Amino acid sequence: MLIAEPGGRLLYSNPAARALLGIADDGESAGRQLPHGQPAWARELLVETALPLATRDGLWKGEAAFLDRDGREVPVSLVLVAHKDPGGAVRFLSTIARDLSKEKNLEAQFLQAQKMEAIGRLAGGVAHDFNNLLSVILSYVRLAQQGLPAQHASRADLDEVVRAGERAAELVRQMLAFSRKQVLKPRVFDVNEVLAAVAPMIQRLIGEDIELGVSLAPRGAFIKADPSQLEQVIVNLVVNARDAMPGAAS
């Protein structure tokens, strides 16, 4: 709470206000000139809008800001009251400010969550369309492979197209999971089975010049999760490790 003369000279500030503004004690606060301790936009709002309206109507309510002792902007809700004498002249102004930092932080988090939800919907739509195109591409590539002799020179190139398509399919699965369009289906399974199944694909991803070793648990390793999500984690870890190796392509 603050009390000031119409010209802005501070008459009183309570402990909460002094703590916010970094004023040591009430003796130091007396005589300070307001609206010091506010960011430029808040000073402009106070001088050009809040004070004239409070002087005219006796009361103004709105949002402004103060600068704390470290110079950080603190959003506040303000109730500014003009106390007048019998003749209508303003004798002093009082204000009660409430810190809105928590509310503003929650609002910012909510807006960020809305943005992420919108990005998720966009990613899901793009991933769905791309998945359809990818299915068509891989189908035609496999048909082309079937029509080629075993030693045909183009077969190796088509194999590379299939590998790239499979990697793209993994990315699509991640995007669909991120957008929540792919429903997760946790179940109890043996991690050994997932590792054994994903190892051949990983070997193709990392290339023949890198040796892949798979060490399975002797008695199984059972967990409850979505197997496809675990596959994504394993593939990402191995691909990142490959990219971090000396001589990896940038």
Q: Which domains are present in the chain?
A: 2-99 (3.30.450.20), 101-181 (1.10.287.130), 184-245 (no CATH)
pLDDT tops 90 at residue 188 = yes
Instruction: State which amino acid sits at residue 53.
Output: L
Query: Which residues 6+ apart lie within 8 Å of 59 measured at CB?
Result: 79, 80, 81, 82
Q: In what order do the strands lie in the sheet with 73-84?
A: 10-13, 2-4, 90-99, 73-84, 59-67
Q: What pLDDT was estimated at residue 82?
A: 92
Q: What pLDDT was estimated at residue 53?
A: 92
Q: What pLDDT was estimated at residue 24?
A: 63
Share of the chain above pLDDT 70, in %: 88
Lowest mean pLDDT across 158-167, 224-233, 241-250? 241-250
pLDDT tops 50 at residue 250 = no
pTM, two decimal places:
0.47
pLDDT tops 50 at residue 237 = yes
The span from the CA of 165 to the CA of 168, in Å, is: 5
The span from the CA of 32 to the CA of 123, in Å, is: 55
| Stretch (H or E) spanning 204 | helix 191-206
